[in-house]
């Protein structure tokens, strides 16, 4: 993951038991940690639980923080680990299969793809709150197995090896899941991409 130095980096150099430093650490970082957890878990209550657990874990190991990465990068990974652990704990309903959203080929191994007469510009989506909301919902609609890989690699910025390590799966498995997630997302976003959604 790309380092993104936090303004509270110096908090790591203060004694862990220092109350002012602890409060500053929490206040400076809780916003983005909560947003990250909510993106991964799709539930505000679970995200709040996860952030509490992440801070407890960070306080326990603050002395071990060696400053090889920025404090924010370190906290980011702790939060992701806590969210993934929470995802494993909660009982989710059986995932919908992703197959119906994957590319189609005919018996001659030719792609079945309707012609594209229009492809929406990124800015046209970013400037429209309703379209952004629909994109977020479509990302959330992906089965967890695939969604998590797409979010960690493409949205949170971890590299393939780091995603494999976080999820405890092989690099080749990450690549398979990532490609399927992207292909399925493209299919889900097609009405928006083709400019067929009212703006």
| Cβ atoms of residues 157 and 1 within 8 Å | yes
Residue of 34, 16, 38, 37 lying closest to 25 (CA atoms): 16
| Cβ atoms of residues 48 and 79 within 8 Å | no
Q: Is 106 in the site for other proteins (CB under 8 A)?
A: yes
d(CA 74, CA 76): 5
x/- letters, 117..156, toward other proteins (CB under 8 A): --xx-x--xx--x--xx-xx--x----------x---xx-
Q: Is 105 in the site for other proteins (CB under 8 A)?
A: yes
Q: Is 65 in the site for other proteins (CB under 8 A)?
A: no
d(CA 53, CA 41): 14
Q: Which is nearer to other proteins, 84 or 94 (CB)?
A: 84
d(CA 167, CA 81): 9
Residues of span 16-45 touching other proteins by CB under 8 A: 19, 22-23, 26-27, 30-32, 34-35, 38-39
d(CA 74, CA 70): 6
By CB under 8 A, name the binding residues for other proteins: 19, 22-23, 26-27, 30-32, 34-35, 38-39, 48, 51-52, 55-56, 59, 103, 105-113, 115-116, 119-120, 122, 125-126, 129, 132-133, 135-136, 139, 150, 154-155, 175, 178-179, 182-183, 185-186, 189-190, 192-193
């Amino acid at each position: 993951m790309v380092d993104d130095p936090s303004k509270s980096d110096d908090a790591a150099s203060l004694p862990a038991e220092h109350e002012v430093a602890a409060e500053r650490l929490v206040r400076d970082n809780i916003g983005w940690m909560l947003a990250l957890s909510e993106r991964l878990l799709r539930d505000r209550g679970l995200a709040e639980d996860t952030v509490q657990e992440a801070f407890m874990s960070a306080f326990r190991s603050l002395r071990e923080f060696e400053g090889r990465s920025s404090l924010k990068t370190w906290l980011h990974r702790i939060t992701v680990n806590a969210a993934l652990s929470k995802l494993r704990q909660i009982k989710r309903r059986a995932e919908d299969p992703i197959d119906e959203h994957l590319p189609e080929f005919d018996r001659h191994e030719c792609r079945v793809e309707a012609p594209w007469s229009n492809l929406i510009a990124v800015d046209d989506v970013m400037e429209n709150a309703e379209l952004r909301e629909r994109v977020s919902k479509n990302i959330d609609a992906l089965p967890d197995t695939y969604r998590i890989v797409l979010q960690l690699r493409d949205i949170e910025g971890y590299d393939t090896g780091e995603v494999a390590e976080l999820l405890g799966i092989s690099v080749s498995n990450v690549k398979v899941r990532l490609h399927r997630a992207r292909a399925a997302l493209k299919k889900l976003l097609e009405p928006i991409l083709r400019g067929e959604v009212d703006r």
